[in-house]
Structure 1
Amino acid sequence: MIEILCATYNGMRHLREQIASIEAQTLTDWHATFFDDGSTDGTVEMLKALALRDDRFSLVQNSTNLGFCRNFLNNLSKLENADAYAFSDQDDIWYPDKLERAFNWLARVDAATPAVYFARTEIVDEHLNHAGLSPEFKLEPSFFNAIVQSIGGGNTMMFNSAARNLVMDTLPEFQLISHDWWFYIVVSGCGGIIRYDAEPVLKYRQHAGNLVGANNSISGQIVRLWRAFRGQWRAWNAVHELAIKTFEERLTPENRAAFQAFQRARNGGWPFERLSVFKRVGIRRQSELQTRFLPIFALLNRL
């Protein structure tokens, strides 16, 4: 059985369409739990009615507002004994075979090995008009990429019990950046398997004023680099550095060495070392342009 976790917050406008796409899945052995974060728009009432008439759905109301990352990760600890788990946003439209495609891959992995599947998305506007696809990443997923970049959207993810247990065991007490990025870091870092599917699995709805980052254009890369120069990457990496230290002994030897080299590059090693770490160790982003800027940002204390 697959347990679907859907975080909701004032999602009444589009949630019914998402629920309909879950109900239309070709793989039918699933249960969906909605974790509501304090909705005031009728979302809770609608989900209560849904759970009463269909036992495939459940509703949990958070006692305090958790935010999207903690909503997913904290509540994942309450769910056990599923064969696999899938995250869901409240306003996407899943392709009918989304669950089946992911589960067919997971079923071929040894159950004792932490494994995570994620995929590309079709970008759509509020009215579901096609606006493009998310970037097609060419480099194989790895800790050397995960330490500097998130490439797997949580709304596409499915993972097995071994991955769930590993992430729960390594969850720090402080706030993380995002649940999907944390899965990528932990599972790849501790020797698990990551599968990136280049075929899209859902319609990812972008709202007015937010239809950006849907492609890997030069202009989009320049925007990301500008944000890095302003300190965004360094702020994210500071959180991840502290969090990874809490389970550093569980990293594979190769990944532990990469993490330690990355720390030296970020935190004041010799200039030559800070420039050479990324090429020598193999830490890189999916974009060659952005990878070339990593040592420069390290020297400028922006990494």
Structure 2
Amino acid sequence: MNHYNLSQDNDTVYIVMATYNGQLYLEEQINSIIRQTHSNWKLIIRDDCSNDNTLCILRTFEISDPRISLILDYHGNVGCTQNFSKLLESISPIATYIMFCDQDDIWKDNKIESSLSSMKMLEAKHGSKANLFVYGTYTLIDEKGKLLDEPSPNYSTPPNLNLLLSQGYVYGCTMMINSGLANYSAPIPISSENHDYWISLVASMCNAKVMYVEEPLLFYRQHSQNVSGSYKDSSFFRRIKRFFGLQEKELIESRYKMFVSLKNHFLNLGIENKLLNGYIASFQRGRFAPVFFCLKNNIRRRGLMQTLIFYFHLLKVKSV
């Protein structure tokens, strides 16, 4: 991949990190940010009322590095998604480039540089006023930081509404967005499954220009406390369990609420989407209507088995 020349670039990259009881891996993650080859960054952290040593660790870093700032507010414990929403709302008026950071991963040294290079290439092609979205993949590690014998997932299929109405597959820890997309995305509604999914949906709704970075730029840690899904979720036996379990149906119903919020969010901006409106309306008719609508409009998941699971559980959803 050809990289845009950043040698004379003074753009500040804002990194938002939502923390909660992250003492086990937090120092390793922040140190990996400090080691970045692109050093012009600001790390903005909001802690969600941790009851371990997280705050002490954060304050130590804040004192030692002026690029690191800890947000203290009166909102209390709001959960991971709203934690990221508060962070995004706080910096979207001033930040040109924004990255999202989990508390337990490890960034490769060139993560910011490579992401910003891709962003600059998008800017050169589409202009800085366009809504721009860079994302990629990761390398899997275990709790102790050891590489797992698993290939990096391929998420190169561009995020579009036909796929996103059935599943979210872009990880926030791989993202960089510009100010235009950030302003469309904030605030993230309470009905959102997570910040990753919401931003992907917003990007598809406002026709963001997208670039996929094939090189894995972070080590994504797998452990029992993962907020996002485990790589094991894609195993054959897990899929069979999902096929017959209730979780998928509940997930579809929960996502319906997120899609209604998405529709209202963009109606307030004077933007409507025929596909989104039709999908929501099919749920109101109930039973077979959502499946027929999805088949007619090529709303599916990225794999055949996942698509069959999705359609099967759509049939279980009662009209709303």
TM-score by length of 2: 0.83
Structure 1 residues 298, 2: CA separation in 2 closer, same or farther (over 3 Å shift)?
same
Q: Which residue of 1 aligns with 2:3?
A: none
Amino acid at match of 1:21: S
Are residues 1:161 and 2:179 paired?
A: yes
Q: Which residue of 1 aligns with 2:274?
A: 257
- After superposition, residues 64-213 of structure 1 pair within 5 angstroms as 64-79=76-91, 80-109=93-122, 110-131=127-148, 132-137=150-155, 139-168=157-186, 171-172=188-189, 174-208=190-224, 212-213=230-231
Report if aligned partners of 1:135, 1:215 keep a CA contact under 8 Å in 2.
Answer: no
Which of 219, 230, 235 lines up with 2:237 in the alignment? 219
Residue 30 of structure 1 and its aligned partner are, at CA, apart by 0.5
Distance 1:229 1:88 in 2: 27
Which of 22, 35, 45 lines up with 1:11 in the alignment? 22
Report if aligned partners of 1:123, 1:203 keep a CA contact under 8 Å in 2.
Answer: yes
Distance 2:13 2:40 in 1: 6
Residues 67-124 of structure 1 show CA distances to partners (whole Å, capped at 9, x for unaligned) of 1100011221111322200111111111111111111111122222212222212121
Report if aligned partners of 1:228, 1:302 keep a CA contact under 8 Å in 2.
Answer: no
Residue 167 of structure 1 and its aligned partner are, at CA, apart by 0.7
Residue 298 of structure 1 and its aligned partner are, at CA, apart by 2.6
Distance 2:307 2:20 in 1: 36
Distance 1:185 1:302 in 2: 24
Structure 1 residues 39, 144: CA separation in 2 closer, same or farther (over 3 Å shift)?
same
Structure 1 residues 265, 223: CA separation in 2 closer, same or farther (over 3 Å shift)?
farther
Amino acid at match of 2:281: R
- Aligned partner of residue 16 in structure 2, secondary structure: strand
- Aligned partner of residue 183 in structure 1, secondary structure: helix
The range that moved more, 226-235 or 39-48, is 226-235
Amino acid at match of 2:302: Q
Residues 164-213 of structure 1 show CA distances to partners (whole Å, capped at 9, x for unaligned) of 11112x644x3421011000011111211233334321111122486943
For these two proteins, the number of residue pairs brought into alignment is 298
Amino acid at match of 1:68: C
The range that moved more, 125-134 or 85-94, is 125-134
Structure 1 residues 35, 270: CA separation in 2 closer, same or farther (over 3 Å shift)?
closer
Structure 1 residues 167, 176: CA separation in 2 closer, same or farther (over 3 Å shift)?
same
Structure 1 residues 246, 77: CA separation in 2 closer, same or farther (over 3 Å shift)?
same
Distance 1:288 1:7 in 2: 34
- Aligned partner of residue 247 in structure 1, secondary structure: helix
Structure 1 residues 292, 188: CA separation in 2 closer, same or farther (over 3 Å shift)?
same
Residue 6 of structure 1 and its aligned partner are, at CA, apart by 0.9
Q: Which residue of 2 aligns with 1:23?
A: 34
The range that moved more, 204-213 or 22-31, is 204-213
Structure 1 residues 17, 243: CA separation in 2 closer, same or farther (over 3 Å shift)?
same
Which of 228, 239, 242 lines up with 2:260 in the alignment? 242
Report if aligned partners of 1:141, 1:195 keep a CA contact under 8 Å in 2.
Answer: no
Distance 1:92 1:133 in 2: 17
Aligned-residue CA RMSD (Å): 2.5
TM-score by length of 1: 0.88
- Aligned partner of residue 104 in structure 2, secondary structure: coil
Residue 139 of structure 1 and its aligned partner are, at CA, apart by 3.1
Structure 1 residues 212, 161: CA separation in 2 closer, same or farther (over 3 Å shift)?
closer
Residue 159 of structure 1 and its aligned partner are, at CA, apart by 0.6
Distance 1:207 1:138 in 2: 25
The range that moved more, 53-62 or 135-144, is 135-144
